[in-house]
Amino acid sequence: MAPSFDHLPDPEDEDYDEDEELDFSDLRERFEVQLEQGLDAFVVIDGLPSVTEETKPKLIKFLKRKLDPVGRVKEDSIFMPLGPDGTSEKFAFVEFSSAAEALAACKQLDMVPLDKRHTLRVNKLTDIERFGREGRIDENYTPPTIPPFEEKEHLRSWLADPSGRGRDQFVMYKDDRVQIFWNNEKDAPEPIVDRQHWTETFVQWSPQGTYLTSMHAQGVQLWGGPSWTRQKRFAHPFVNLVDFSPGEKYLTTWSHRPIVIPEEGHPMLSVDDDGKNYVIWDIETGKPLRSFANLDLPSNTTDEAGQPVKRKIVWPAFKWSADDKYVARLTQGASISVYELPRMGLLDKTSIKIEGVMDFDWAPAVPHREGVKTYEQLFCYWTPEIGSNPAKVGLMSIPSKEVVRTLNLFSVTDAKLHWQSNADYLCVKVDRHSKSKKSLATSLEIFRVREKGVPVEVVDAIKETVINFAWEPKGDRFVIITTAEVVAPTAVPPKTSVSFYCPEKVKGAGVGNFKHIRTYDKKNSNAIYWSPKGRFVIVATVHSQQSFDMEFFDLDFEGEKPESDKDLTANLQLMNTADHYGVTDIDWDPTGRFVATSASIWKHAMENGYHLYDFKGEQLREEPVEKFKQWLWRPRPPTLLTKEEQKQIRKNLREYSKVFDQEDADRGASADLAVVEHRRRLLDEWLAWRAQIEEEVKQEREARGLPLDPIEDLIKRDDDEEDQVIEEIVEEIVEETEEIIG
Amino acid sequence: MRPILLQGHERALTQIKYNRDGDIIFSTAKDQHICAWFAHNGERLGTYHGHQGALWTVDVDPTSTLIASGAADNTVRLWEIRSGKCLKVWEFNTAVKRVEFNEDGSQLLAVTEKRMGFLGTIEVMDINLDPEAEQSDEKVLTITCEESKATVAGWSYLSKYIIAGHEDGTVSQYDAKTGEQLDNTQIHEPDMPITDLQWSADRTYFITASKDKTAKLINVQDLEVMKTYVADTPLNSASITPKKDFVILGGGQDAMGVTQTDARQGKFEARFYHKVFAEEIGRVRGHFGPLNSVAVDPTGKSYASGGEDGYVRVHQFDKGYFDFTYEVERQAKAQGQM
């Protein structure tokens, strides 16, 4: 016991001992055991074969070879105790020269197979002390309790709209509230759920609408089911972005901050994930599959101060094949790494080396190439001109890694890859410079993936620069926006032109050459939004300060077709134009019936809110929303109906329409009735209150002996003097004529 | 509705008042004089000079003999309408933001600003409606607003209560005789000032306008919110129309923020709502600054709005306005309920 003030020895006391005053600190310093420090460099290796005194040196030598890459180990620092029967206890203690080496050994050598029957288990001695100390481990085996089966909520229940009208849901994020509604067309949307602080930065639907994703500093959470309970969570600290695989099987999360695994560990991630930025998760199990660090590429551009310009993050960095089987990442200029799911191992254990590769993209659907029967996924990529080699666009088949088509191109400044949603076509938008490198022109190289040999068609060189391109979903028509010159962002954006293209009619099956339909000049438009079902398209001006116009086009107009278009597979018609001040986002509902346009506070603070249009461009609703941030329609999974069934429905559409029209009319009538009823009630209440209060006031006045009208009396007093009548006579000469008589 | 534009003020309008007969309009602006106008043709009847600071408020007595005005020169002045003579000056410690006569013109209340170490107050003076008579100097009642200063105030029916709207969005009910606070209710959003308070013809209910973008119709007896009118812009003024069951709201983005946006942004419109159904019926455009005050002719023939742009616009209601009724109203009328 340390001497406290109460027990200080008194020199007057009899048993006072002078020795107690001796200073031992020098000795203590020398001999005190430095517990933690010393043992940090030790590891324990389990899983060794049993050896005898004679074979021991051989095993130690063998072990040393295994250990050497991690840290230099002297032969005498491997200690293998022998049991009473002269054979080893199948484990060894190893001393490294530093704690860091010991830690590295645990990381790298644990679970390394020694031979077929033996696998090394490497642990720090201090860990064994800490976790394996007596009493820490229960001697008796207790089987883990398996929680009873609990039925999960139906994650697709929303597809059966309780009102039986097949309405769509959408999520609205405003201020700090996240709200989910049923779309009610003209009427106020019907709220489903409304939660404050549901997310910290934004919300996102999974690609088939099953989950709503919320973002938090601690990670990502998925919500769903009829009661909007938490389905999954993925604890990626400080996550910034999230991306789903198309089939909702996997999830990629990314944070600009490398993951730091704290001393005490992390509930989901392991030490291996330390320093990584990307994590790929299995959604079903909620477990991480693999993590990756950011690829820090030396950037070849520098800013004015000579500092390398920070490359913008490319998102998604990990691109998914259409069937969730592969995920790939580009190492710009060098290679594409394709990983196989669910093992997350590199395909054939190597990255695909493609010199100079700039960009790649998976086919968004399983491709159907003529004459190819085996399973394949395709991706396309392009490489710029390197030395005297031309620029190239290639199509690669996975898993065979066979390049099925390449196209050589010259004078390329940039290329953009646009897949059509069925993977039937691939359009490569090539920006070319002239020899002097002064002017730019764009050409569209269209790969017909379905046809034998993947022929490439070039759409006649466009003089201007194409700033936007969009395929019709599931169709074969496209829209481009061009501008005469691309200049640095200025206050007044350059005028643009919008052009429509479609294949021409051919006899028999097959698709004809792509032909220009029409061009609309002198526009400000910069964005193209196709209906998810095709046919209708909105060309709009977004993120602009001056113009906010939206034009709704129909490519299969049922009216008269101009003579000039008779060979084309489209009849283009401008249906409607609309104007939404400050529009920043345009979103089609998944059925292509409605369009929501919104002005988000993320971009500007003016007139935040949304408009709702039908596909024809008729405005249905308009609602200003304070601090409006986001509007997202809930996506729908692909239909379960077969082609025949869909055809049948289309054939009988008239019958269905009749029923629906009747339902709509009935609902409208009953809604009107409800409104009238409500108004009548309000009016009755009001009149009753007025009658009551008038009576009360009257009584009170009488009780006080005051006249019923307080002012009449006053005025009478004033008007004692006679009224003064002021007469004003106004003479007006209407006409004056002078006649000379005589 | 073709408006008559009254161009007499050089600065932003602060308040507009009709007299009881609806034939004269009084307007105050920050340019230090009061204007009186004929309501039917917009001809200027005269101006009242004397104040040394921006004018905040004006009210006319029920017999159309006197007007009272309050200004930033810390005075309330009483004027004879006919002659333009200043009959009386009451001095206060701070600027006067609101004056109002009670229903028989026997008393006048004044709301003073909280400033320079003085708390906001509501002061009451006795008034003699005879322009020849001497007015008393005495303040018969002083209500001090300890919590949050009053921005607007008025007299209820029978001069029973004084109702005040506060800067923190609450409404208070005071006993008009003793000054005792009887009630204080959070009516509008906390810390959203109440910008206007106007009475129904019989002073049994009133409407408040607030920066929280709503106007509310309130029962004077228990301060119960009977109706809420939701607008999409901060409101500066609200008025109840006689004859028709409408309310008119005026507002617009704050003068400070206006330059940052274009005219369509400012929402400088007078908005008409149905008083009972609380549904928007229509809007009247015209001002190119926020509307600071709206007032309705007590006889129900016209309304006037005054804007930050310095103009008063007088609108005579047309046939369409009087003909507009909801179906349920027509039915109620047919049944003799109304």
Contact A709, A716 (CB under 8 A): no
In angstroms, the separation between the Cα of residue A702 and the nearest Cα of chain B is: 11
In angstroms, the separation between the Cα of residue A573 and the nearest Cα of chain B is: 31
Partner-chain residue, chosen from A606, A686, A711, that has the shortest CB–CB distance to B104? A711
- Residues on chain A touching B264 (C-beta within 8 angstroms): 581
Is A729 within the bounds of a domain? no
Contact A42, A92 (CB under 8 A): no
Residue A188 at interface with chain B, using a CB cutoff of 8 Å? no
In angstroms, the separation between the Cα of residue A447 and the nearest Cα of chain B is: 48
Please state, in angstroms and rounded to a whole number, the distance separating the CA atoms of residues A362 and A384: 19
Q: Which domain holds residue A698?
A: 656-708
In terms of CA atoms, which chain A residue is nearest residue B260?
A: A606
Partner-chain residue, chosen from B129, B265, B276, that has the shortest CB–CB distance to A686? B276
Are residues B329 and A693, on separate chains, in Cβ contact within 8 Å? no
pLDDT in tens, A394-433: 999 988 888 999 999 888 888 999 999 999 999 999 888 7
CATH number of the domain residue A102 falls in:
3.30.70.330
In angstroms, the separation between the Cα of residue A616 and the nearest Cα of chain B is: 26
Mean pLDDT of chain B: 90
What are phi and psi for residue A584, nearest 5 degrees?
A: -120, -30
Are residues A687 and B337, on separate chains, in Cβ contact within 8 Å? yes
Domain boundary among A132, A155, A170: A132
Partner-chain residue, chosen from B157, B331, B338, that has the shortest CB–CB distance to A687? B338
Partner-chain residue, chosen from A683, A715, A718, that has the shortest CB–CB distance to B332? A683
Of A441, A434, A449, A359, the C-alpha closest to A397 is A449
Are residues A683 and B276, on separate chains, in Cβ contact within 8 Å? yes
Residue A673 at interface with chain B, using a CB cutoff of 8 Å? no
Domain boundary among A112, A132, A152: A132
In angstroms, the separation between the Cα of residue B265 and the nearest Cα of chain A is: 7
In the structure encoding, which two tokens stand for residue A84, read together? 């009473």
Q: Omega of the bond prior to A367 within 30 degrees of 0, cis?
A: no
Q: Which burial class, exposed, middle or buried, applies to A108 when counting CB atoms under 10 A from its CB (0-12, 13-18, 19+)?
A: middle
pLDDT tens digits in sequence order for chain B, 338 residues long: 678 999 999 999 999 999 999 999 999 999 999 999 999 889 999 999 999 999 999 999 999 999 999 999 999 999 999 999 999 999 999 999 999 999 888 999 999 999 878 999 999 999 998 888 888 888 999 999 988 999 999 999 989 999 999 999 999 999 999 999 999 999 999 989 999 999 999 899 999 999 999 999 999 999 999 999 999 889 999 999 998 999 999 988 776 654 444 545 567 889 999 999 999 999 998 888 899 999 999 999 999 999 999 999 999 999 889 999 888 888 888 887 66
List Cβ neighbours of A527 (8 Å cut-off, separation of 6 or more).
A468, A481, A539, A540, A541, A542, A586
Q: What angle do CA A529, A321, A245 make, to 5 degrees?
A: 75
Of B199, B95, B105, the C-alpha closest to B149 is B95
Are residues A624 and B277, on separate chains, in Cβ contact within 8 Å? no
Residue A689 at interface with chain B, using a CB cutoff of 8 Å? yes
List Cβ neighbours of A58 (8 Å cut-off, separation of 6 or more).
A51
Please state, in angstroms and rounded to a whole number, the distance separating the CA atoms of residues A259 and B307: 58
Residues 580-599 of A with CB under 8 A from B: 581
In the structure encoding, which two tokens stand for residue B150, read together? 């009053």
Pairing state between β B34-38 and B44-48: antiparallel
- Residues on chain B touching A683 (C-beta within 8 angstroms): 276-277, 328-329, 332
- Residues on chain B touching A720 (C-beta within 8 angstroms): none
Partner-chain residue, chosen from A606, A684, A714, that has the shortest CB–CB distance to B265? A606
Contact B312, B302 (CB under 8 A): no
Residue A715 at interface with chain B, using a CB cutoff of 8 Å? yes
**How many domains does chain A fold into?**
2
Is A278 within the bounds of a domain? no
In angstroms, the separation between the Cα of residue A723 and the nearest Cα of chain B is: 15
Secondary structure of residue A661 in the 3-state scheme: helix
Are residues B328 and A694, on separate chains, in Cβ contact within 8 Å? no
Residue A710 at interface with chain B, using a CB cutoff of 8 Å? yes
Q: Which domains does chain B have, with CATH numbers?
A: 3-334 (2.130.10.10)
Please state, in angstroms and rounded to a whole number, the distance separating the CA atoms of residues A602 and B2: 41
In angstroms, the separation between the Cα of residue A165 and the nearest Cα of chain B is: 28
Please state, in angstroms and rounded to a whole number, the distance separating the CA atoms of residues A540 and A507: 35
pLDDT of B184 reads 93
Is A509 within the bounds of a domain? no
Name the residue with tokens 């197979």.
Answer: A113
Contact A381, A354 (CB under 8 A): yes
Q: Which burial class, exposed, middle or buried, applies to B8 when counting CB atoms under 10 A from its CB (0-12, 13-18, 19+)?
A: middle
Is A415 within the bounds of a domain? no
Secondary structure of residue B174 in the 3-state scheme: strand
List Cβ neighbours of B286 (8 Å cut-off, separation of 6 or more).
B3, B268, B269, B305, B313
What Rg, from alpha-carbon coordinates, does chain B have? 19
Amino acid A155 reads L
Contacts 24+ apart (CB under 8 A), A413-417: A413/A440, A415/A358, A415/A359, A415/A382, A415/A391, A416/A359, A416/A469, A417/A359, A417/A360, A417/A361, A417/A380, A417/A381, A417/A382, A417/A393
pLDDT of A1 reads 47
Domain boundary among A132, A152, A180: A132
Question: Helix A653-704 and helix A643-651: axis angle, to 10°?
Answer: 70
Please state, in angstroms and rounded to a whole number, the distance separating the CA atoms of residues B218 and B207: 6
What are phi and psi for residue A717, nearest 5 degrees?
A: -60, -40
Selected for mutation to probe chain A from B102, B130, B204 (highest A CB count within 10 Å) is B204
pLDDT of B76 reads 95
Specify the DSSP class assigned to residue A119. Answer: B
In angstroms, the separation between the Cα of residue B303 and the nearest Cα of chain A is: 22
- Residues on chain A touching B265 (C-beta within 8 angstroms): 581, 606-607
Are residues A700 and B158, on separate chains, in Cβ contact within 8 Å? yes
Residue A674 at interface with chain B, using a CB cutoff of 8 Å? no
- Name the interface residues of B facing A (CB cutoff 8 Å): 20, 62-63, 65, 103-105, 129, 157-158, 202, 204-205, 219, 221, 226, 232, 261, 264-265, 276-277, 326-329, 331-332, 337-338
Residue A19 at interface with chain B, using a CB cutoff of 8 Å? no
Amino acid B237 reads S
Q: Consecutive sets of 10 residues in chain A, 742 residues long: mean pLDDT of each?
A: 51 52 68 61 83 82 79 77 80 81 78 79 78 71 85 88 88 93 89 93 94 93 92 91 93 90 81 87 90 72 54 82 92 90 86 90 88 87 89 90 90 90 91 74 88 85 82 92 69 80 83 87 90 93 85 90 83 90 92 93 87 92 90 93 91 90 86 89 92 91 80 62 76 87 78
Partner-chain residue, chosen from A679, A689, A700, that has the shortest CB–CB distance to B328? A679
Is A667 within the bounds of a domain? yes
- Residues on chain B touching A676 (C-beta within 8 angstroms): 327-328
Q: Output the 3-class SS for A621-658.
A: EEEECCCEEEEEECCCCCCCCCHHHHHHHHHCHHHHHH
Selected for mutation to probe chain B from A604, A693, A699, A708 (highest B CB count within 10 Å) is A693
In terms of CA atoms, which chain B residue is nearest residue A711?
A: B104
Beta bridge partners of A181: A170, A191
In terms of CA atoms, which chain A residue is nearest residue B65?
A: A718
DSSP for A169-186, please give it: EEEEEETTEEEEEE--TT
Q: How many CA atoms lie within 13 A of B51 on its CB side?
A: 32
pLDDT of A21 reads 58
Are residues B202 and A694, on separate chains, in Cβ contact within 8 Å? yes
- Residues on chain B touching A680 (C-beta within 8 angstroms): 328, 331-332
- Residues on chain B touching A679 (C-beta within 8 angstroms): 276-277, 326, 328
| Calculated CA dihedral for residues A499, A505, A510, A511, nearest 10 degrees | -10
Is A720 within the bounds of a domain? no
Residue A676 at interface with chain B, using a CB cutoff of 8 Å? yes
- Residues on chain A touching B338 (C-beta within 8 angstroms): 687
Selected for mutation to probe chain A from B19, B63, B192 (highest A CB count within 10 Å) is B63
Are residues A607 and B328, on separate chains, in Cβ contact within 8 Å? no
pLDDT of A487 reads 57
Is A211 within the bounds of a domain? no
Residue A691 at interface with chain B, using a CB cutoff of 8 Å? no
In terms of CA atoms, which chain A residue is nearest residue B159?
A: A710
Are residues B105 and A686, on separate chains, in Cβ contact within 8 Å? no
Is A448 within the bounds of a domain? no
Secondary structure of residue A135 in the 3-state scheme: coil
Are residues B202 and A697, on separate chains, in Cβ contact within 8 Å? yes
In terms of CA atoms, which chain B residue is nearest residue A688?
A: B337
Please state, in angstroms and rounded to a whole number, the distance separating the CA atoms of residues A496 and A542: 13
Partner-chain residue, chosen from B221, B264, B329, that has the shortest CB–CB distance to A683? B329
